[in-house]
Amino acid sequence: MEDSVDKNWSKVIDEESLERCENERIVYPFLAEASYEGQHFNTIEDARLWYERYRRGQSFSTKIRNSTKRPRSDDIDRAHFCCMSNDFSQKNLGNPESSDVAGNRRSSDKCGCNETININWNTKIDKYVLTSFTNIHNHKLVSPRNQHRMKVNKFFPEAGKNLTTAFELHNNLVFPNTKHRFCLWHITNKFPEKIGHAYREPSTFKEDIDSIMHNTYKAVEFEIKWIYLMKKHKLDDNVWTQGIFNIRQRWIPLWNKETFFVGMSSTGWSESTNNFFNGWLPITTGLYSFVTKYEAALIVVYERESAKDFASEHIYRQVGPHQALLKDAAKIYTRTMFHKLQNQFDQIVRFIAIERHVEGNVRQLTVKSHSGRVESFGLQIDLKKLTGNYGCKLFEYVELPCCHLLKVFSKYDIFKIPEAFIMTRWTIGANKFSRSYDESQLEGDNLRYALRHSHQSLCASNLFERASKMKESFDFAVLELEKLKFYLQNSMTL
């Protein structure tokens, strides 16, 4: 017995829809009005949009079956629109037995539907006119409840795909203390593609732009150099360079150095995250393996940090006998951060510190280079409180004293790093709170202890940082910790 489909399915659906629950119905505020012969449109695009709105209300999909153009012109003269279920599946035409062949047993929404409209150009009124309309479906229409499953309704507008602009308006409200920057590498990597004529040899554009990006410390100075560079390489009217200049606050290091980024570039941050899993998680890793291998990778990180902490505490750095400031730094900072500070200290011979203004204990100075790259920064320091600020922003960016500040320390015979310039996160023993476990407990069935310990350490570190800022909160935290210690001791003896 052959399957047959009633051609009046649309009538059946209309009758059934009266019995549907109200919450299953979908109301479309921009549905097209009912069509009629003689209806006219200004353009063929208007006709297409109208038909799409119409089919959305009638619960079927549409397409352009064919169209013709006017002689010696690209303007469309006639368009034939139809239901998406028009025609038949090509695999089964002329071969009824082909559906039994392995590999051809596929479903199709083609069933020879006769729903069509014809749009023709009318030269008398200079408009497109609907000349014929057949509103007969031989298939069941999609119910309002399932219209979101139709292929044509899965179109996602560009505004919905690119949410960066939409989120950008609210990021500052939702995350007021968060700085969002763009990846410098991804932008500079576009230079050969966007401005290849200026970027390739023998042009000096690459060296010039690198110098502007990394060796400019004032906004006005950057803007003047940028304008000169664009004129030099004839890029004044380039739309792409104008676009990246307008968002310079998001990717040029000058505007990002006022925010603490651990001294890492945006690219380095991403690469370090990926490097964490290198050798542990291939692309084919499943969810269960991911959890297991993540814990194993975390244990390796713990062991690596433990070894470095041991080296920082028990392996001493070699400094000159008269370098009192470095001797003090060696007792404070971890090995990695000490070497970074030592690199800054080695540069102070390039600078001279000139005292410009004295007011009580406060000194205002200018530190400028006498050789090498031209640099000049204004600094201010209180010799009694040993606090101050300076212009190169390295302390804000890395939270480590820069060579300009070290030059000022040397000028005023400050032989110890002032506490105001020592960040706990870079000091020896800062990680000790996460080393209070027996590593043998991390074997076998106790792997999950690593994750529990990591979570508790992070929470405790954040609480301690907050509690230590005020005497009242510090006393309260100590009291509560004693209660927690008493509770844990009693619970473990039960």
User: What is d(CA 437, CA 165) in angstroms, rounded to the nearest whole number?
Assistant: 47
Residue 327's CB: how many other CB atoms inside 10 A? 15
Q: Express each pLDDT in 233-256 by its tens digit.
A: 888 888 999 999 999 988 998 888
In sequence order, what are the beta bridge partners of 111? 88
Q: Helix 335-345 and helix 403-411: axis angle, to 10°? A: 70
pLDDT at 144: 72
In one-letter notation, the amino acid at residue 346 is D
Which 8-state DSSP code applies to residue 380? E
Give the residue from 144, 150, 140, 133 showing the smallest Cα distance to 12. Answer: 140
Phi, psi dihedrals of residue 88, rounded to the nearest 5°: -125, 165
- What's the token pair of residue 107? 């479903």
Q: For residues 83 and 140, what is the distance between their CA atoms, to the nearest angstrom?
A: 12
Closest CA to 396 of 416, 362, 423, 369: 423
Per-residue pLDDT, 3: 39
| Residue 450: per-residue pLDDT | 54
Amino acid letter at 71? P
CB 191 within 8 A of CB 199: yes
- pLDDT for the residue numbered 153: 66
Which of 316, 328, 333 minimizes the C-alpha distance to 400? Answer: 333
pLDDT for 42-78, tens place per residue?
888 888 888 777 766 666 777 777 888 877 777 888 8
Q: Which helix or strand (DSSP H or E) is residue 16 part of?
A: helix 9-17
Task: Name the residue with tokens 């676009």.
Answer: 243
DSSP state of 141: P
- Chain position carrying tokens 């473990």: 492
Helix H or strand E segment including 77: strand 76-83
What the block records as the tokens of 256 is 């990002």
Provide the residue type at 244 as one letter: I
Rounded CA gap, 302 and 309, in Å?
10
Burial of 133 from C-beta contacts in 10 A (0-12 / 13-18 / 19+)? middle
The answer to whether the CB of 276 falls within 8 A of the CB of 268 is no
Q: What is the dihedral of CA 308, 314, 319, 325, to 10 degrees?
A: 90
Give me the residues paired with residue 8 across strands: 137
What's the pLDDT score for residue 351? 92
127 alpha-carbon distance from chain centroid: 48
Q: Are 58 and 133 within 8 A, CB to CB?
A: no
User: Can you list the residues of the chain whose pLDDT is less than 50?
Assistant: 1-32, 92, 94, 99, 434-447
Predicted pLDDT at 442: 42
**What is the spatial distance between Cα 459 and Cα 465, in angstroms, rounded to a whole number?**
10
pTM given for the model: 0.55
249 closest CA partner among 344, 145, 152, 172:
172
Whether 328 and 345 have beta carbons less than 8 Å apart is answered as no
Q: What are phi and psi of 196, to 5 degrees?
A: -60, -35
CA contacts within 13 A on the Cβ side of 57: 14
Tokens for 439, please give them: 């590593």
What pLDDT shows up at residue 56?
A: 67
> How much is the mean pLDDT over the chain?
76
**Cα separation, 252 vs 182, whole angstroms:** 9
- The residue extents of the domains of the chain are 9-155, 173-275, 277-314, 324-426, 437-493
Give the dihedral of Cα atoms 307, 312, 315, 318; nearest 10 deg: 140
Q: What angle do CA 273, 433, 476 make, to 5 degrees?
A: 120
